[in-house]
Structure 1
């Protein structure tokens, strides 16, 4: 099961970076190079989840160092929080676009299913991860930095044309979703097996 999830997430990560290809190129040509890191939101979330799965597939023998535990905790927190947030965000944007008249194509339906899967797997796998609230807050800080850069530097994921006049509401929703994601994650941490 873990290997299947690893393969699906790794393939989804590659597909996601390809899907963002034009926006990545545009950002490199029109923005400071360092901002490109903040462009592909969902694929970066699935990349973190793919890395987190490696910790489960290859448990470290012996007593891990504090540096290893810290790195693993931050990667796992980023995996859970970004998977949940960007899973919900993408589905919401597709639905909002459709509600305003954007014609849905087969890729939209595929993205809805895959992003709902991202959100769900993040919450389901919290119970097998070691990160705590401190790492979750660090992940929140990363997401809020990403949110601020997205809407101050115009590097947010390209939206359907019908949503372009809703950017203020989308920005506020995105920031609110980051905070909600931390709250949901903290709730799931209370119910996991340690």
Structure 2
């Protein structure tokens, strides 16, 4: 058996694998929202209530992917649900790539500035790398087109604006507090990169080269 079988359509889209992905991502999403619990409570107490939706970035990205996998298991039957599934897929790819790379980068940037990494950090590195990889692997199985990258990009850029305008960005290691402006620029640039990468993988998928 060739190693390429493990990223083939036959392997990745069989119902057992899709259900496994669905439950793993759902559990990860729930855990992620619990992880952000303290910051969510702080935001509710000190910020406008509508801003709280922009606090748990990675769990929301994972939620988009979880919903997208569910639509692979149960394809939508109506135009409204089909449009909604396209939106979820585009958001899943852009945000999973963006926050997957972002979290890993911030963890290692903090370590480079003197932060001591613990086992939870390595768990976060592994889980967020998986987020990015699975999103790019599944681009070819999703049905959204390049047009749907526009609302996905708009949402993600707006998330960045809210995060750094109102201070609801994910809490950073203490060692990075003096580099907040650099983190902001990196975050916005990473959004653009993630949208571009999603578009590129869509083009490659149409040519059946991935």
Instruction: State if a TM-score over 0.5 links the two structures.
Output: yes
User: Cα distance, 1:190 vs. partner?
Assistant: 0.9
Match of residue 93 from structure 2: 80
Superposition map of 1:143-158 within 5 A: 143-158=156-171
Separation in 2, partners of 1:57, 1:192: 20
Aligned pairs for 1:38-77 (under 5 A) are: 38-60=54-76, 64-77=77-90
* Structure 2 unaligned residues grouped into runs of 5+: 1-16
Q: Secondary structure at the match of 2:205?
A: coil
Q: CA deviation at 1:59?
A: 2.2
| Number of aligned residue pairs | 191
How far does the alpha carbon of each residue in 1:77-134 deviate from its partner, in whole angstroms, 9 at most, with x for none? 0011111100000000000000000000000000000000000000000011111112
Deviations 1:135-172 (A, max 9, x none): 11210100000000000000000000000011100000
Among 26, 32, 36, the residue aligned to 1:10: 26
Residues in 1 aligned to 2:108 and 2:63: alpha-carbon distance in whole angstroms: 25
Listed one character per residue, the Cα deviations across residues 11-59 of structure 1 (whole Å, up to 9, x for unaligned) are 1000000000000000000000000000000000000000000011112
Aligned to 1:90: 103
Q: Distance in 2 between matches of 1:96 and 1:140?
A: 25
Aligned residue number for residue 112 of structure 2: 99
Q: Residues of 1 paired with 2:75 and 2:59: CA distance? A: 24
- Does the residue aligned with 1:155 lie in a helix, a strand or coil? coil
1:137 and 2:153 are equivalent in the alignment = no
Unaligned segments of structure 1, at least 5 residues = none
Distance in 2, Cα, partners of 1:21 & 1:56: 30
Say whether 1:167 aligns with 2:180: yes
**TM-fit CA distance, 1:191:** 1.7
Greater Cα offset, 127-136 or 168-177 = 127-136
130-139 vs 172-181, which deviates more? 130-139
The separation in 1 between residues aligned to 2:100 and 2:43, in whole angstroms, is 23
1:186 CA drift (Å): 0.5
